[in-house]
Structure 1
């Protein structure tokens, strides 16, 4: 095996130690970045009342956010695979700050969409490079490293109901201006990470040039790898479709069918999302021990029976069932990223953007579709439909197991 091929197969193999300081810095910045994103769904009940938006318009807001934050991720990841760009991280946070200010001052639906576009682009810049830094700092603990990194983002997303209940209900739309402090903090933290990232490249610990040369000399990607990647994207899409339905519309279901107030409904959504934070954190280490494919299967097929019955249970059972669903279904969040990176180790940035980004973009398409269906039929119909999505998790057994992945991606001598 040539030195170049070996480097392509394991770009961080020169640094076996796990750099926890960088991982926690990235987790913190991920929390701040996704907190900004969570401001958008947190404002949905406010806009629905103050601007008389329809469910379809709320779906379009989610669509613009997720499509810009998602579809562009593989593009930025592909560019970063070709050329190291450490300072894209703080630049992305700056873009989010511009969008956030516009969002807080938006007078109508169309200015909201433009502002959300900037927030989405900032997030699209951030995520592929963030996953790359986590990969670089992981050492031999890739599952744990991705969990540490991703748990920050999921926790930031889980704060949307809290923002609604305690900031936007009393302060209204302009309360979003307070989050400029969050973006400034994130820029400062990411400047520190970017300097470490640049230093790793200068010291030759992570050479994109040698990796690019090795990729050119490597064998073509195996057909089974391509099929596995396609199926993985589909599975993540189904999971994202379900989560998009919960994040954007379940609060309205609680208000209409159970008679809860806007503030009270946020508590239930927060419990789901916070449980997802815990699931994300524990999923990575469990996958390191029991296998990536096994965790992906259990996270979807295990949650499916509960998601199916959720729309029919009495209010007293919603919280415990909701907590279990959130924990189980999001336990594969970081695992899917690591599985994709191990399928295509020469294209870490691109596949990270593909899994975290493009699949979530497809979830955004789902948000629009669900909004239209809610207007045509009812929120209850949408929640019943969403509950059936995790059953596609049984298709996980068509993915190659971890040992087969290592066999398929093993460099040829």
Structure 2
């Protein structure tokens, strides 16, 4: 494990996902100051997560073909630009386009950064959970940062939200010791030794059928994740009569719990197997979502949101490494599809739950969400594991070892 590289990449993940978390944190302010409806703010959630998710597989394919490490800083800088511009914009269409731009930046970041983190961390579930928790921490910090900036300065102070991205961009440009890694898994492995037949056999090990089942599970994961993220603070304010600060607090608690869940999932995966973390996470998340929908008081809502946030991220690192092991020679594509296209479902469905909330109330929207979530829970219990052997390795170091053996 290359701890310096992994730590630096974890920092970039925190910055990138800070802007992903900033968008739902801005929604209550947009509703109060610009008088947007539930459907309108759900449309912004789609612009952030849906558009991002549609673009992410493209960036995954590009990062498999040849190394494009520059997409990492370009991604979080573009995300920052979009969020700042959305705060400074004057009408809904411009705001939507700016949020979509932020989503594209977020999409550009994830495939190359995830592949580099997998290479730096090796096969450890704990290493991938550390990288993943960087994003969760960034998302958890976002509501507090947005509340401090916009709550005190209004949307005119949105430019201050760009500071974290600028600081990280400077660190990236300095090319310190944390940047000196020798290899990564951004590109599909090129077999330079051995026969063409051996190379063909290696390429045949991608398990698209199992990968498709995993994508179906993550689609079902993304719908409640995105919807709860965009509506839970509004639930606290509109249904339970809490303040804007209290709404931000429940959102922060929800996302911060995800950091704990991610680390817990990495520990469980290394100790008891990653399928244990996948199944346990989904089984605990289901009753927690019931608590969010039913919550008659603010403390119950907070407790349910914390449990739900933690449980939803227990399987997260395992799902990422499982996807890359289902497609060992297309790690960027695997990351792009699981973190991207599958997540598009959450953004695409978010406006539908917003319209339901407008017409029937937020509780009805959450109960409908609960019915949808039963499906991925059932599917997750039947996912197969896959343990790669040496012939299926995809990192440059493993491929080099395989080639050397063939040459001997």
Give the structure-2-normalised TM-score: 0.87
Residue 399 of structure 1 corresponds to 383
- Equivalents in 1 of 2:157, 2:342: separation in Å? 31
Picking from 55, 59, 77, the partner of 2:60 is 77
Among 225, 238, 242, the alignment partner of 1:243 is 225
Partner of residue 258, structure 1: 240
Aligned match of 2:282: 300
Counterpart position of 1:121:
104
Structure 1 counterpart of 2:212? 230
Are residues 1:370 and 2:349 paired? no
Q: Indicate conservation of the 8 Å contact 1:237/1:362, yes or no.
A: yes
How many angstroms apart in 1 are the aligned matches of 2:128 and 2:181? 21
Q: Distance in 1 between matches of 2:186 and 2:159?
A: 40
- Contact kept, 8 Å, 1:131 with 1:352, in 2: the verdict is yes
Q: Is the 8 A contact 1:69 1:124 kept in 2?
A: yes
TM-score normalised to structure 1 length: 0.86
User: For residues 62 and 122 of structure 2, what CA distance do their matches in structure 1 show?
Assistant: 24
SS across alignment from 1:398: coil
Which position in structure 2 is the counterpart of 1:14? none
CA distance in 2, matches of 1:98, 1:169: 20
Return closer, same or farther for 1:402/1:33 CA change in 2, 3 Å cut-off: same
Counterpart pick for 1:43 among 26, 46, 57: 26
- Measure how far apart 1:200 and its partner are: 1.7
1:337-372 Cα deviation digits (max 9, x unpaired): 011111111111110111111222211112121112
2:63–2:186 contact (8 Å) kept in structure 1: no
Pair 1:318-2:301 in alignment: yes
Q: Does 1:218 align with 2:201?
A: yes
Other-structure match for 1:68 = 51
CA distance in 2, matches of 1:68, 1:352: 16
CA apart distance, 1:96? 2.4
In 2: Cα distance, 1:193 partner to 1:286 partner: 34
Distance (Å, rounded) in 2 between the aligned partners of 1:410 and 1:107 = 51
Aligned to 2:370: 387
Summarize the alignment of residues 265-276 of structure 1 with structure 2, pairs less than 5 Å apart: 265-276=247-258
Cα distance per residue 1:181-236 (max 9 Å; x no partner): 111112123346799667525xxx7694753778962356469x322211211211
Q: 2:320 aligned with 1:331, yes or no?
A: no
321 and 102 in structure 1: CA distance in 2 versus 1, 3 angstrom threshold: closer
1:303 is paired with a residue of what secondary structure?
A: helix
Match of 1:7 in 2: none
Q: Secondary structure at the match of 1:133?
A: helix
SS of 2:190's equivalent in the other structure is: helix
1:153 aligned partner = 135
Specify the SS of the correspondent of 1:84.
coil
Query: Within 1, Cα distance between the matches of 2:281 and 2:25?
Result: 26
> Is residue 286 from structure 1 mapped to residue 268 from structure 2 by the alignment?
yes
Contact 1:100 1:115 in 2 (8 A): yes
> Is the 8 Å Cα contact of residues 62 and 364 (structure 1) preserved in structure 2?
yes
Q: Secondary structure at the match of 1:346?
A: coil
Q: Compared with structure 1, are the counterparts of its residues 208 and 111 closer, same or farther at alpha carbon in structure 2 (3 Å cutoff)? A: closer
Tell me the alpha carbon deviations over residues 136-182 of structure 1, each in whole angstroms, 9 at most, x when there is no partner: 101342x1121111101111112233234333223221232102211
Aligned position for 2:42 = 59
Question: Matched residues in 1 for 2:265 and 2:205: separation?
Answer: 28
Instruction: Give the aligned partner of residue 92 of structure 1.
Output: 75
- Alpha-carbon displacement from aligned partner over 1:121-146 (angstroms, at most 9, x marks no partner): 211111101101101101342x1121
1:4 equivalent in structure 2 = none
Deviations 1:244-272 (A, max 9, x none): 12111122222222111111122122111
Tell me how far apart the structure 2 counterparts of residues 273 and 229 of structure 1 sit (CA, whole Å): 27
Q: Does the 8 Å CA contact 1:25/1:193 hold for their aligned counterparts?
A: no
Q: Secondary structure at the match of 1:388?
A: helix
Mind listing any 5+ residue stretches in structure 2 that lack a counterpart?
395-401
Q: Structure 1 residues 181 and 58, CA, compared in 2 at 3 Å: closer, same or farther?
A: same
**Is this contact kept in 2: 1:303–1:390, CA < 8 A?**
no
Assess, with a 3 A threshold, how the Cα gap between structure 1 residues 74 and 192 changes in structure 2: closer, same or farther: farther
Q: Give the deviation of 1:64 after TM superposition.
A: 1.3
Q: Following superposition of structure 1 onto structure 2, how do residues 21-36 of structure 1 map, counting pairs within 5 Å?
A: 21-36=4-19
* Paired residue secondary structure (2:381): helix
Question: For the residues of structure 1 that align with 2:256 and 2:334, how far apart are their CA atoms?
Answer: 26
Distance 2:209 2:259 in 1: 29
2:399 maps to none
CA deviation map 1:52-78 (0-9, x unaligned): 111111111111111232221111111
